[in-house]
Structure 1
Amino acid sequence: MADLDEPIHVVAPDPAWADQGRTLVRDISAALSGMPVEVAHIGSTAVPGLEAKPVIDIQVGCPADGVEVAVARMERLGFECLGEAGVSGRQYLRRRSGLAANVHVVERQGRLWVDNLLFRDYLIAHPDVMARYAAAKREAARRASTLLPYSDLKAQSVAEIMGAARGAADPGRAS
């Protein structure tokens, strides 16, 4: 298995990311045809106007008994499986040839599924929060040139935004 850590760079927002995300959602949905799955574009490239690593993140939600099949089908599309990669309940796949992309296979409608969509949608709905997150991403990228330290450096910002997103989605629920 390849090393999870890899060089990263954060770039200005690219309007093409939305179309690339839609294309990947379509292609992955077709590859998973016949399975009870949901597929969504997530991550920073799914937030219009947000700087990001130029890698499209796609989330596949499926029942637990479909994870192995989903992963196998993603591997046939050229994705490399890196296992849970530090996130329990997720299978992480990446492809760096052609259009760079990550696929996160998670439980459909489970906590990871819901949280990833909440995070994306909260940033879209709150431009001020998106701007603060962009600044945190730029600073993390300035201080770290590879994925794992970059992720660690922006983790506090992600946690704060996730807490706010959960609170906004369910004001009575604790983060």
Structure 2
Amino acid sequence: MEIDETITVVPYDDQWVDVFKNEKTTLLNIFGTDAVEIEHFGSTSVRGMVAKPIVDILIGVSSLKLDESILHQLQQRNYENFGEAGVEGRLYFRKRAEHAFNLAVVIFQGEHWVNNIQIRDYLRTHPQVAEQYSMHKRESIQKGITTLLAYSDEKAEFVQSVLRQAKKYSMEN
């Protein structure tokens, strides 16, 4: 079970919204009341953006100590558990099947939750920034950066810039 994987980016697909909604129903059944909120985030949640064809799901919980039954049910549904995977305060799971998913389980309203929602909402309301981000992603792939970890490193500075813009916008509005 290796966290690094080959990636690509594709044009926005309207189907991603429904794919998220269907998986959210499944996840609500698994997490029950342990899930305070479940949100679609990442590039597949921003209409018009290019993205890895992997639906990112943010699950807000009150504690990162997940019940064994939740872990077992995720495993039964082919989710791989990567623990924190190098990001303190986030549990990372992924499923690669007909539809691919990444789950980020974080403390609801904690730093990871707020940052991811702010970036998503900012990109949704600022299409010119979303297009710049899409261009950055396409250029990264064209440069031959086609593995997850290298791709994540390549776009990290740009994402931090978007987060700063999103935080400033949020404070002003």
- What one-letter code is carried by the residue in structure 1 that aligns with 2:57? I
Scaled by the length of structure 1, the TM-score of the pair is 0.91
Shift of 1:74: 2.3
- For 1:156 and 1:57, locate their aligned partners in 2 and report how far apart those are by CA, in whole Å: 20
Name which of structure 1's ranges 97-106 and 62-71 shifts more when overlaid on structure 2: 62-71
Matches within 5 A, 1:1-150: 2-64=1-63, 66-69=65-68, 70-143=70-143, 144-150=145-151
RMSD of aligned Cα (Å): 1.6
Shift of 1:78: 1.5
Shift of 1:108: 1.1
- Superposition misfits of 4+ residues, deviation over 6 angstroms: none
Task: Please list the CA deviations of residues 20-74 of structure 1 after superposition, one character each: whole Å capped at 9, or x if unmatched.
Answer: 1111112211221232521111110011111000000101110125435544442
In structure 2, the gaps of 5 or more residues are: none
Scaled by the length of structure 2, the TM-score of the pair is 0.92
Identity of matched residues, %: 37
In structure 1, the gaps of 5 or more residues are: none
1:166 and 2:136 correspond: no
Name which of structure 1's ranges 150-159 and 73-82 shifts more when overlaid on structure 2: 73-82
Query: In the alignment, what sits opposite 1:151?
Result: 152
- For 2:35 and 2:60, locate their aligned partners in 1 and report how far apart those are by CA, in whole Å: 9
